[in-house]
Amino acid sequence: MTKASDRAYDMIRAMILSGELAAGDPVREEALAERCGVSRTPVRDALRRLEADLMIRKTESQRSFVSDWSLDDVGDAFELRAMLEGYAAKRAAAHMTAEVLRRLRSCNEAIGAAISGNHPDVATFLDRNREFHALVLETAGSRRLTNLLTALIEQPVVWRTAHHYSPEAFQRSYSEHDDLLSAFERRDGAWAETIMAGHIRRAFHAYSDAHQGLNEMERGAA
């Protein structure tokens, strides 16, 4: 991939995650090329990558749209994440080092600080949460796991809905990370796997509750 393709990929992906390009929106190469400051070829390459990431869908007529994930779609993704990230945590426990533990603790301390006020800093929570899970996956040391999980971990609809999580949901996420750190300290793979799988399943229910509340809010505003 060229630098232009990488830049287009990063910029379009950021537009999708932020909601600037919303679910169901048409994706037009010419407009995106102008926005990204590149030609249409790098945009085309970027859209192919985003289609592989399940962020873009293409119709039979070859028109591209931002993917629209249903609750069932997201449920399937979380089910797969629970299995795969649970296994990643088990592998990570076997490869854990003092330095990785320090970095994981630093991430979770930042998460705790982000959610401690009356108005949670959701952007920091999401960034540090992503960093925490990415570090676990990196420590697991499996390229196949990384490839399988890439498309599942960051779904735009989850990012959007996270802004409507309850304070309890944020706090549980922080506490479960602490439990994972305890398992990692003891290099206990079975314990880490169980905690991670439960952590992902609980995260789905937090998402589901927030998603339902957001839909009710939007219907009330209509």
pLDDT for 217 equals 47
pLDDT for 70 equals 74
pLDDT for 141 equals 95
pLDDT for 195 equals 98
Q: Are 209 and 169 in contact (CB under 8 A)?
A: yes
Handedness of CA 44, 46, 50, 56 (dihedral sign): negative
Please state, in angstroms and rounded to a whole number, the distance separating the CA atoms of residues 71 and 129: 22
Domain extent listing, the chain: 3-66, 71-221
Helix (H), strand (E) at residue 58: strand 56-58
- Which architecture characterizes domain 3-66 according to CATH? Orthogonal Bundle (1.10)
- Any idea which residue has 């970095």 for tokens? 103
pLDDT for 165 equals 85
CATH topology of domain 71-221: Four Helix Bundle (Hemerythrin (Met), subunit A) (1.20.120)
Residues of the chain with pLDDT below 70 are 1, 151, 154-161, 213-222
Please state, in angstroms and rounded to a whole number, the distance separating the CA atoms of residues 180 and 202: 14
